[in-house]
Chains A and B, each alone.
Chain A
Amino acid sequence: METNQLISGIRHRLMRSGEPTLTGFNQITTIKSLREHLQVAIELEHSTIPPYLFALYSIRENTNDASARAIKGVVMEEMLHMILACNILNAIGGKPAISHRDFVPKYPTYLPHSNEAFKVSLQKFSRPAVDTFLKIEKPGGKDARPEPDHYASIGQFYEAIVDGLKRLAAQGNIFTGDRSRQIRPEQFYGGGGGLIEVYDQATAEEAIFEIVGQGEGIDGTIEDNNHKLFGEDVEYAHYFRFNEIYKEQYYKPTDTPKSGPTGDKFPVDWNQVHNVKENIKMSDFKEGTEERNMMHQFNKRYCDMLRVIHETVNGKREKLEEAVMIMYQLKYLAQGLMNVPMGNGLYAAPSFEYVE
């Protein structure tokens, strides 16, 4: 039984995949292409994490609790999605590549394989930042079709992957991956929703439902119905959580996606934010300065973490513990940077650049 109707909506849409009316798009027809697209999926999930973390870190300690918790929850789910995508790729005999120069986007950037409608920046917690987050998580809309290469919504992209999974599975067993490469729930935690071990079509689709359901949560087809959508037990989708911040208002249990949030005022203090430089780079500082070293240290740890995660999803799943330890350090390193003045009232921040 599906308790979250937002997710059941997306499930319904994903179920449609493979119907005759949907043959007109650029389909995924080879296992090689499917693996490539899942690698993109991993990169796509990861590409959202630095901007969310950047905004989260920029919020002053003990302020904007509700917003900080909403963003934190979303970041954790993005991490879950990234690992879920790794599990799917591992299940079909692929090898996730997490730690290489091109894995870390250079912000501002378009989302990988998107229709390049908007760029994503590293921005402090602010209205424009949340506006970008809304664009990232925006639901697909009623007539959106699967789209592996130039999608407008992340849901379309995954729909194309589900379609490819189904087509290829019908031609023979594609789930040839070693199950010992799967990250299991006991290794992964704190990411909201269970981690799913993927070994067949059903578990692969379950994993994708989890990803898309948590992100967009909804499509146009249920926009018009009047079901109760925002009960307090429903951990609703990212889009709606960000929309509460943007509109500075909570959803009420009786609200619909169309009505928008009409509940109590959602407390946001846009001033309780470190005034950090947007899309900052290490090259903004002179080589050899302490500030530059701090930036480098953060990026080094970030890339260390990616390396550990790479090992984790390539047969050493017990390594995940190590990555968690690094995540704690990253927060403190980022907070340190945000106290470094750059002139003009601006402060430094982590740049999320790839370093060896």
Chain B
Amino acid sequence: MENKEYDVVIVGSGIAGSIVAKTLTQAGKQVLLLEAGLEAGMAFDTEGAYKNYQDYMRSYYTALAKVPNAPYPDVKDAQSPNVLDMAQINGTLDKGYFVQKGKLPFASDYARAAGGTTLHWLGTCLRMLPNDFKMRSVYGQAVDWPINYAYLKPYYEMAEREIGVASDVSDQRYPNVGDDFFGKEYVFPMYKIPQSYIDKSFIEGLAGLEISLNGDTYLPWCTSTPQGRNSTPNEKYRHAATVWNTTTQKLELQAFPKKSDVYVPVGAIWDPYAGQRCEGNASCVPICPVQAKYNALKTLKSAKKEHLTLISQVVATKINIDTSTGNITGVAYKKYEHPDSKNYTEGVAKGKIYVLAANAIENAKILLASEACKNSKVVGCNLMDHAVLLTWGLMKDKVYPFRGPGSTTNIPTFRDGKFRKDHAAWISPIDNWGWGWPTGSPDTDLDHAVSTLNLYGKDLRKHIGDQLSRQLLLHFECEQLPEKANRVTIDKNYLDNIGNYRPVITYNVDDYTLKAFKASKSVSDQIFAGMGVQDYTNYPSNEPDYTTFDKQGYVFRGAGHVVGTHCMGTTKENSVVNDKQQAWDHQNLYLVGAGNMATLGTSNPTLTLAALSFAAAENILKALK
């Protein structure tokens, strides 16, 4: 590959890298894609893809703790963070892949593997709300984005096609959005995933319940959650593909050629007949056994093969910069022989344009190692995640959790409002997996019943049947503002197996978010009281992310939403990339992924970063002209 100059070199085969690779190759550009993880899964042959995925399944079945990265290979030469390594920090936490030096541990992970973190994402596909893009001008907090919702809207539609989002527009009701949020005629590619039984019970219970917050009264409502998993195609959906129009120099959604054409759900990468509908296997995180849930390998597979060169086990270490022009001249990499060996060969990949798509934390690491984008002085800063406060209890009646995908309904009421002048907004998904996340249900319930309560036989069955079937779990996913102090740095004292930097993370949660813990907990208390839910929530002080606010202790969790670190902005001093997602300091460098997001809002970031990736691909195609 060193002898060849490609049009574009992309680092990372997650959803951002795959979307850019697919769009560019289909427009006829020659693309080299470097993946740090194993080749596993990138294989275009169905047999290889199938075998590899079955290996993932076997690892999942045998794993004791079925955490997000449990099914995927733990490669020392391209390590992934693991939530099992998170602990309270006394000075420095040097465990696993991350080095943590902040007040609180950053508690989210990602996957360094072909297909990236979409291998274990939940699949929630919410668009950001218009006010999320203008937090400074509307609420006096953080910053405004250099782009707005209207700019991103057509790219959201492309992302919803690419991922294959299942949802009903008529269901979607969000605070402070107009009729043009989706547009009158818009439909999703597929109808919504059926909402679970627990959702239906919860929706009934919540109906008409008045909630007071900061002296205001709210009538919270529920909506079905748009999801990147296959369901029944909507015959009204008319978009066949996203294509590059050389005349208008734009990406456009192309209509189906025939009236009788309908959207065909994209099945498993090894078998188009598998995974055409969500089968309710309920193991979405960490792994969908039939690939009814979208993952980026599906996008990668539909790239134009003749124009795509894929190389795996290649870890980008730095980008080379021509100091006179600021242009990037190559991506220096290490290619390791075996997953855990210290042996590697070095090389440089060359193209006209370079795209870093290696997750926000990895992108920041590469930029810092290269001393790139120095004008901004904010590379690695503004690391964000949703701080997830969980509350749980027992419903009055049996609601039968542990059925269907992880979450099919949410309360969007507090995603936006004037309270954002004072504290964070949040979204509240209703969980279909009982108390699994906070307490380890159902295994721990059984353990407790047998070893502590000494139950057996009929009594045991009755107890388990009564307890598990009434479990309710709510999340309050609170937004975090960009803070310069929450950052990724590198330190030559912390290197990985082949001498690459490990991320050194400094992280904390500020009052803006802490106030939202207090506010959302009070909302939870009112919901539980109103619906007769017996509260079992507790926040032990020995949990990794235990924190206090206003004399109350809280435990929050990471949402797996790794955002910020190379934010988009209006000047080269306050941001790393411009509104084209092009590095201010390096004309032929584009950064993609959630790292570009200037603020977090209350949406799971994947849909937004996918939309941004289409926009970036369009800008790259324009630049390549």
Contacts and interface: CB of A to CB of B under 8 A. Distances in A.
A73 B262 contact: no
B233 A76 contact: no
A62 to B, nearest CB: 8
B50 A192 contact: no
B50 A184 contact: no
Given A187-B232, A235-B272, 12 more contacts: A184-B262, A185-B262, A186-B234, A186-B262, A189-B265, A189-B276, A190-B274, A190-B277, A192-B272, A196-B260, A232-B44, A232-B45
A65 interface: yes
A65 B50 contact: yes
Contacts of B54: 65
Contact of A76 (B45, B234, B273, B277): B273
A184 to B, nearest CB: 7
Nearest to A192: B273
Interface string B62-99: 00000000000000000000000000000000000000
A186 B232 contact: yes
Interface string A99-137: 000000000000000000000000000000000000000
Given A65-B54, A184-B235, A189 B277 contact: yes
B554 to A, nearest CB: 42
Interface in B107-121: none
22 contacts: A69-B50, A72-B273, A73-B271, A76-B273, A185-B233, A186-B233, A186-B234, A186-B235, A186-B262, A187-B232, A189-B265, A189-B276, A189-B277, A190-B267, A190-B274, A190-B276, A191-B273, A192-B273, A194-B264, A203-B260, A232-B46, A235-B272
A197 interface: yes
Contacts of B50: 65, 69
Contacts of A194: 262, 264
A184 B260 CA distance: 10
B47 interface: yes
Interface centre among A184, A186, A203, by most chain B C-beta atoms within 10 angstroms, is A186
Contacts of A197: 260
A15 interface: no
B52 to A, nearest CB: 12
A66 interface: yes
Nearest to A232: B45
A324 B45 CA distance: 29
Interface in B195-240: 232-235
B44 to A, nearest CB: 8
A70 to B, nearest CB: 10
Contacts of B233: 185-186
B58 to A, nearest CB: 9
Q: Is the interface of B mostly helix, strand, loop or mixed?
A: loop
A140 to B, nearest CB: 26
A235 B276 CA distance: 17
A185 B264 contact: yes
Interface residues of A, number: 22
Contacts of B235: 184-186
Contact of A73 (B273, B276, B279): B273
A69 B49 CA distance: 13
Contacts of A324: 277
Nearest to A324: B277
B271 A69 contact: yes
Interface string B236-275: 0000000000000000000000001010110100011110
A206 to B, nearest CB: 9
Contacts of A232: 44-46
A96 B201 CA distance: 40
Interface centre among A76, A189, A192, A328, by most chain B C-beta atoms within 10 angstroms, is A189
Contacts of B44: 232
A272 B51 CA distance: 18
A235 B50 CA distance: 16
Contacts of A196: 260
Nearest to A203: B260
B306 to A, nearest CB: 12
A66 B45 CA distance: 13
Contacts of B271: 69, 73
Interface string A45-83: 000000000000000000001100100110010000000
Contacts of B277: 189-190, 324
Contacts of B46: 232
Nearest to A195: B262
A76 B277 CA distance: 14
A177 B298 CA distance: 39
B233 to A, nearest CB: 5
Contacts of A66: 47
A251 to B, nearest CB: 13
Nearest to B191: A186
Interface in B263-295: 264-265, 267, 271-274, 276-277, 279
Contacts of A190: 267, 273-274, 276-277
Interface string A231-244: 01001000000000
Interface string B362-397: 000000000000000000000000000000000000
Nearest to B230: A189
Contacts of A73: 271, 273
Contacts of A192: 272-273
A21 to B, nearest CB: 34
Interface centre among B46, B271, B273, B276, by most chain A C-beta atoms within 10 angstroms, is B273
A42 B176 CA distance: 54
Nearest to A235: B272
A309 to B, nearest CB: 17
Nearest to A199: B260
A66 B233 CA distance: 29
A189 B279 CA distance: 12
A14 B233 CA distance: 32
Contacts of A185: 233, 235, 262, 264
Nearest to A73: B273
A184 B44 CA distance: 31
A69 B51 CA distance: 12
Q: Which 4 A-B pairs have the closest CB atoms?
A: A189-B276, A190-B276, A185-B262, A186-B233
Interface in A312-355: 324, 328
A309 B273 CA distance: 20
A336 to B, nearest CB: 20
B614 to A, nearest CB: 25
A187 B273 CA distance: 14
Interface in A280-311: none
Contacts of A186: 232-235, 262
Contacts of A328: 279
A196 B258 CA distance: 12
B521 to A, nearest CB: 40
A59 B262 CA distance: 35
A186 B45 CA distance: 28
A152 to B, nearest CB: 29
Contacts of B262: 184-186, 194
Contacts of B265: 189
A76 to B, nearest CB: 5
Contacts of B267: 190
Interface in A169-214: 184-187, 189-192, 194, 196-197, 203
B92 to A, nearest CB: 45
A189 B234 CA distance: 13
A187 B232 CA distance: 7
Interface string B24-55: 00000000000000000000111100110010
Interface string B328-339: 000000000000
Contacts of B264: 185, 194
A191 B265 CA distance: 12
A94 B47 CA distance: 42
Nearest to B267: A190
Nearest to B234: A186
Contacts of A72: 273
Contacts of B272: 192, 235
Nearest to B305: A233
A80 to B, nearest CB: 10
